[in-house]
Amino acid sequence: MIETRSESLLLRPCDVSPSRSDLEVVGVFNPAVAIGNNGLTMLARVAERPLESRADWTPLPRWSSSGAIEVDWVRNQDLTLIDARVVAIKDSGDLRLTSVSHLQVLRSSNITGESWDFVRTILPEGPWEEYGIEDPRITKIDDTYWVTYVAVSRSGAATALMSSTDMVNFQRHGIIFPSENKDVVLFPEMFSDGYAALHRPNPHSRFKAPQIWLARSLDMIHWGRHQLVLSGMHPWEGDRVGSGTPPILCDEGWLTLYHGSTRPNSTGTVGCYSAGALLLDRDQPGRVLARSSQPIMQPSTDYELHGFVPNVVFPTAMLDRDEELHVFYGAADTYIAAARFLKQSVLDSLQLKDSCKPRQ
């Protein structure tokens, strides 16, 4: 890891309210953050589950077509635990989430995000968001904020898009990457051949190490011209890799953080999630110039090591503050935290793609 200039815990489950009085918040995490005229705006993922408990039964919440949460109670003996987040129904093999997520809009007048005020709630809508909406990322292009987020349903995890000019009112644009695909981040400008996005296909068949891909679009809705960008090649990214923060432009090229996870040690657990950095070519964003060989962030604090899903740091927003990078991330699928790094120290930690030698 590189040296952290500061790190802080920003939000805990007790700091936000559930969408209904019969639900409890089990996590507020994986935030999207943008700079506005009056400070910072955050879209926070809020995961909640029923307060009611029944011996030997598991509640599986979902959003109904009427816009209300319904709970399916299933006997424990009819379920297989995949991990803390997911169970499989034995008869069908179908997966279900043990919690359901929505988004909350928060504002901070302090540029470091030390305190946050509630603005509004964004709830799931329609059949493609039946099991919740998750893990937003914000990219501002011209005067519009574009938000990618994961829409989860019985058809799997897909990526949807919405936009806003004020980060209060949002227009939904539907699914832009079908399941299984998530961790989509947009580049903050249009290239000569269109817009660009990094995305994470999540195939059931593993022919190779987990991968991050790049796609192009002329209208932000229809995406194609896919190309492979990165494959997990180190043990800390051996089970999963995925885009983390929307890229920022620096003198060297496009800088972004991504997450990687190790393989789990036992059934019913999740591997350790760490964060690395990636440098992409200024004009050809599918071309890797340098990348992390070792994580720049690993779980180390109590709130990163212990929670709903232990041993997780999951970066989802990064602000360019001159010589510093302000990184916002989910910790243990339970908390929102922030860390500050010297930008040059992150760049110096990377290894050139071709030579695999440390940057000079």
Angle at 112 between CA 256 and CA 273, to 5 degrees: 40
Query: In this structure, is residue 358 part of a structural domain?
Result: no
> Where residue 186 sits, what CATH number does that domain have?
2.115.10.20
Structural domain includes residue 1: no
Which amino acid would we find at residue 192?
A: S
Q: Has residue 79 been placed in a domain?
A: yes
For 114, the 3-state DSSP assignment is: coil
Tokens 């904020």 identify what position?
A: 145
pLDDT of residue 356: 43
Domain-embedded: residue 151: yes
Nearest by Cα to 235 from 199, 263, 270: 263
User: Which range of residues forms the domain containing residue 248?
Assistant: 6-352
Distance in angstroms (rounded) separating the CA atoms of residues 261 and 235: 8
Please check whether residue 352 is in contact with residue 290, taking contact to mean a CB–CB distance below 8 angstroms. yes
Establish if 359 belongs to a structural domain: no
Structural domain includes residue 338: yes
Domain count, the chain: 1
Q: In the prediction, which pLDDT does 129 show? A: 97
What is the block-wise mean pLDDT of the chain (360 residues), using blocks of 10 residues?
Answer: 78 96 96 90 97 96 89 96 93 95 94 86 96 98 97 96 96 96 97 96 80 97 96 91 97 97 85 97 97 95 96 97 95 96 95 56
Tokens describing residue 41 = 């705006």
- The reply to whether 76 falls in a domain is yes
**pTM value surpassing 0.85:** yes
CB 246 within 8 A of CB 187: yes
Amino acid 264: pLDDT: 87
Between strands 288-291 and 351-352, the pairing is antiparallel
Residue 252 within a domain: yes
